[in-house]
Chains A and B, each alone.
Chain A
Amino acid sequence: MKRLTKLACLTLGAAVSVALMAGCSTGPGQPEPGAKPVVRLTYWNSEETMASMLRYISTAVPDVKVEFQFIDNTNYATIVDTQLAAGEGPDIIVEAPNSSRKHARQGYLEDLSTLAKGFSAAGNSVFTHENKVYGLPGVSWFEGTWFNKELFAKHNIALPTTFAEYIEVCKKFKELGIKPLAAGLQSWEPMLKNSMAYVTAEYLSTPAGSDFGEKYRNGQTTLDGTWNPYIDQWSALIRAGVYTKEMTGISHEQAMEEFASGKAAMFCSGPWDLDAILAKNPKLDLDMMPFHGTKASPDGTGWLIGGPGGGFAVNANSKVKPAAMKVLEAIATPEGQKALVADSKGSSSYLIGLDAGLPKYYNSVVSTIEAGKILCPWDDWGTAGGAHREYGVEMQKYLMGEVDIATALSNVDKTVKELLSK
């Protein structure tokens, strides 16, 4: 037993020595003289989605080594929050709009206003805190309405250009015995996005509503009392039987199945579902249309729900800040943006003047994307952005007749107030 104890002591001693030696060696942020500085970049998307980008950086910035670190989305915010609070963390952080504002407020991020000048206002606005931009907009996500071109052509139905026309289209399909819109309302997301798209077209994109997000995150206004008439108008979809209570028993995948198999004419979603839809039905002839308000847009566009999924921010406490800034400069070039978009099918860049280069499935939304008419209203809610889930849940309750519009909106206001109070 004594031998065993000696052996245990020796093993422990050796382990401690190795650990100490490792601790004294050069860390990833502290390069040895002459060695390339190592910049750690974290993202919730896998490395494959950044492969072209990382290859581009290695040629554009050869004197810096970028170390990609994937952190699963479920733990991303918690891990990054904790690391930043400890004065450490990655050198380049892909930030969600809400967390970028939070971290900017806490002083953890570097001001990137100069670099961000090449990006559109729609992209920069969600990473702006007190008139300074803290994140370079990454690729945008967007959601519109996929439609079955064959069904529209076969029944001689024209694409709608207003909300009223959209309802008429839905009614025509119903009369033909075809489900107009497949919707997986088991999830709170479809009604959140669809109703917000209408409010965007009718109010948020107008001079009267353009500063709503800013006022809302500063506690100067509420949804209840402002959004009520728009939600009431949008409820025409419920009254027309396009959205039904039974749809709360349908998942997103099941709704997608209905659309892919030609049993439904339309399906609200984004590029992320395109491969799955085509895998289920490779012969499906589909395109995406934008959302509309009561009036047709003079430029023939509509609105898409979406925004920059993530923005590239620099840790203010980074030990290799100049190297991290060099990497961001490369990302902000047209070549960098093309490399970024290359691995995210159907996404687009916010860099001004860059060709969207979208595949044929997006023909009907190209003008909308190029006009930058993509908005994610809750990205403007600051640290209360997470309350968009409550909004979606309240819309489900409204559909089921459990609450009226005013109650639904005031419940969201309460959650927003609670989140802003932190």
Chain B
Amino acid sequence: MLSGRGSKPGSLGKYFYLFLLPALAVFLTFSILPFAFTVYYSFTDYTDMNLKNLNFVGLDNYVKALATPLMRKAILNSVIYAFCMTGLQILVALPLAVLVNLKLKTRNFLRAVFFFPAVFSALIVGYLWSYILSSSNYGLVNNLLSGLGLDTFHFFGPKTALGSVILSQIWQWAGWAMVIFLANLQSVPQELYEAADIDGASKVKQFFHVTLPLMAPSVKIIAITSLIGGLKVFDIIYAMTKGGPGDTTETVMTVMLRHGVSKGFYGVGAAFGVMFFIVVIAISASVTKLMGKWSAAIS
């Protein structure tokens, strides 16, 4: 029906571009053009005091962005967050997936319970965890510790705040990763386990030599999406710490938003954005390559 006169069989022929146009227009308008403008602004003296007569300033904005001491801290925090979040999420989600794949009576219930936190928005989770870990009289954990006669713990101190944020996010997203792993697990042919049983392989050996190699595709998906999401982290920081105390939990996105938008240094903000884009692409590419090598090695 679609392949009219003059078009190749199985293709959309001359109407190909017509059908492509709406999606392309939307993508161009809301993604490509803003990014192109961001690159352009990153080379200009665009500020809230100078909105019209923009001048080319070369790499000044990039130098300023890198020279901001807070930016270095923010990059470090973002990288720590992204890698800890990714690694720990996988470490928690994999055994959970194996657990809920067992023939347990409660497995459907457990699957729902572990996945449940992923349904909430990061803001709700942030407020919830800030109450759970609070130092006030209403902090659940500290109330329990104090009830047990133990010392209370300051979860939002300069050295602990980022860890508390990571903890809340592992709680929220481990269930989501578990579902992806579970789907992958269920596609592993049963014959492989039967063969391993015949060969006398223990359950642990079966996990490392049968399950894990075949889980490589889902681990790769979780690692990449979690890393990119982690590097862009903003909402949970906003909800739980607002970058504090002091600036101990500032991330690239919080600094970029404040310096680039709130303070009106739009050119420098754009430079932040472009550099961050390059960093995310580089890290994602490296991890994809590493995961590919790992997957090839264990296969």
Contacts and interface: CB of A to CB of B under 8 A. Distances in A.
Interface of A: 1, 77-78, 81-82, 85, 102, 106, 182, 185-188, 245-251, 254-255, 257-258, 263, 383, 386, 389, 393-394, 396-397, 399-400, 402, 419, 422
A161 B155 CA distance: 36
* Interface of chain A, main secondary structure: helix
B246 A400 contact: yes
B51 A186 contact: no
Contact of A422 (B49, B156, B242, B244): B49
Task: Determine the interface band of chain B, counting residues with CB < 8 A from chain A.
Answer: 35 or more
A402 B246 CA distance: 9
A422 B48 contact: yes
A246 B262 CA distance: 29
Given A251-B130, A400-B158, A246 B48 contact: no
A77 B47 CA distance: 12
Given A186-B156, A188-B244, A247 B135 contact: yes
Contacts, number: 96
* Interface of chain B, main secondary structure: loop
Nearest to B266: A78
A422 to B, nearest CB: 4
Contacts of A397: 245-247
8 contacts: A85-B51, A85-B52, A248-B154, A249-B155, A263-B137, A393-B246, A397-B245, A419-B264
Contacts of A393: 243-244, 246-247
B58 interface: no
Contacts of A245: 154, 157
A396 B242 CA distance: 12
B217 interface: no
B15 interface: yes
Nearest to A415: B263
A102 B48 contact: yes
A81 B48 CA distance: 7
Given A81-B51, A249-B134, A419-B264, 18 more contacts: A1-B4, A78-B48, A78-B261, A85-B51, A102-B48, A182-B136, A186-B130, A186-B156, A186-B244, A188-B242, A249-B155, A250-B135, A257-B136, A258-B138, A389-B258, A389-B262, A396-B244, A422-B47
A188 B262 CA distance: 16
Contact of A186 (B15, B245, B261, B262): B245
B15 A419 contact: no
Given A254-B131, A386-B262, A248 B245 contact: yes
